[in-house]
Structure 1
Amino acid sequence: MSGLYDLLLGPFIEFAFMQRALLGAVLLSISACPVGVFLMLRRMSLTGDAMAHAILPGAAAGFLLFGLEIVPMTLGGLVAGVVVAIAAGSVSRLTVQKEDASMAAFYLISLALGVLIVSMRGSNVDLMHVLFGTVLALNNEALTLIGGITVLTLASLAVFWRGLVAECLDPLFLRSVSRLGPPVHFVFLGLVVLNLVGGFQALGTLLAVGLMMLPATAARFWTVRLEWMCVLAVAIGIASCVSGLLLSYHASLPSGPAIILSAGMIYVVSIVAGTRGVLATRIQHHSHRTA
């Protein structure tokens, strides 16, 4: 019994830094995973990755001016993310270029610029902190920020739920019957940026999108109902965070990559064993052929 306690409960009960890491990761899962579901259903999964890198120059500028301070880096990342989202959207609407291409262009520029800015002042350790985060070093200020983002995200999803669902299913229909189409789109992009900024505190710019997208893509192999998909994505996200933190603690591994790899393992299992996964599809196909 004591072995089970030491393996599963002890790290979270005995160490305050593990408690803060778990709280921050759980809050991020509750907030970011439903946003990831909508990103996936809108076929914008790679947009989330691009936006994660888009916040890097702003966060790097905050680091250049104030060091590893949460508020300046967060505000800088938020401004940079909003600017890139608006710029990419504007380019796609005013030119012949599609939004994914313009987003990719801005993402590459942002990534290079952000790394350059961090390198101007910081060391390789600082660059690793910005790129991969430090979930085990979350303080009360970071937890307050992540908690605020979680509350704002859940409130926005509750208010704009029907509009978000309608835009996922048929954005042209929504625009034809309502003027909510463009506002809902930009509100949604704002939620993506907010959650990536929150995830940046814990997982860095390179891994923040992982907690947003991997649980969402795994959940789709288990259910077709949107509400349950969001709930299941949150559950998978929390399970990934718990298992990743425990793996990080016991095996002395970097916590951020351990969390994302845990989510990746659940994704692989879901592909194979999910109710809409490979095995279920093959069994169903075989039963239809023999019927």
Structure 2
Amino acid sequence: MNEYSEMIEKALDEFLIKDNDVKGLVDSMEYSLMAGGKRIRPKLVLEFCKACGGNPENALSFACAIEMIHTYSLIHDDLPCMDNDDMRRGRPSNHRAFGEDTALLAGDALLTLAFETALSEKAVKATSAKAVADAGRILASFAGVSGMVGGQFIDLSIEGKKVEAETLEKMYGKKTGALLKASCVLGCIAAGADDEKLKAAEEFGGKIGLVFQIIDDVLDVVSTPEVLGKPILSDEENEKTTFMSIYGEEKCRQIAKKLTDDAVKALDIFGKDESAELRELAINLLNRNK
């Protein structure tokens, strides 16, 4: 899926509004949005569109929208009132570079720009009015109270408390899994896929979302700031219960392996050749070191 990287970067830059009246705000938005990263979510949108027989280019508006929402969440997550992280992707976090007030507004602006992008005339022409309406609904649902934002609230509310693995799984399913599920489903919507494929895509996204967070918990303990591009042991410093603190590294990796196997199985409906890249992605997420 590396072939999508240039396509995504170009589209993100084109959708980013350039308004000289608020240049400082735009600079802050661009600082985080164009900072690179794995671009897993937009790549999932494009690859699921392709797996359903669609043209990935037609799903670019949806792909950019999900990446804007993800980026806004990172900006807000780093703020002092949240995780209070000074580094993101190997450089100062947004509020360290632009100040807390501008960082907060940059996150707000990226969230609203995401919906402007997903609901744009360009998106309608590339897909259909129904697909755009469905995409807007999915974005709102998975990014909001019942999805990512709800997960972030649970995350903050359990700081300093001992919680069960079930609570962690619920929190991760919302905070991390929701946007990954949305990414997979949006790709299917762009291609006009049926309900059976939408359901399988959502299952895949949920499974790899949990894997992603479990491996994050592991890397926060065993990796280094140089490799991760952000501080390590932040969960311990914030007194957070994680899968790592409950199970230890070996058990975490066993759980992540089982979830990855289940995620790959969910792709059977798309066909072996059509889902080859998605299977490879799932395995790469399991084995990643940053």
TM bin, normalised by shorter chain, reads under 0.3
TM-score, normalised with respect to structure 2:
0.27
TM-score, normalised with respect to structure 1:
0.27
Structure whose CA Rg is larger: 1
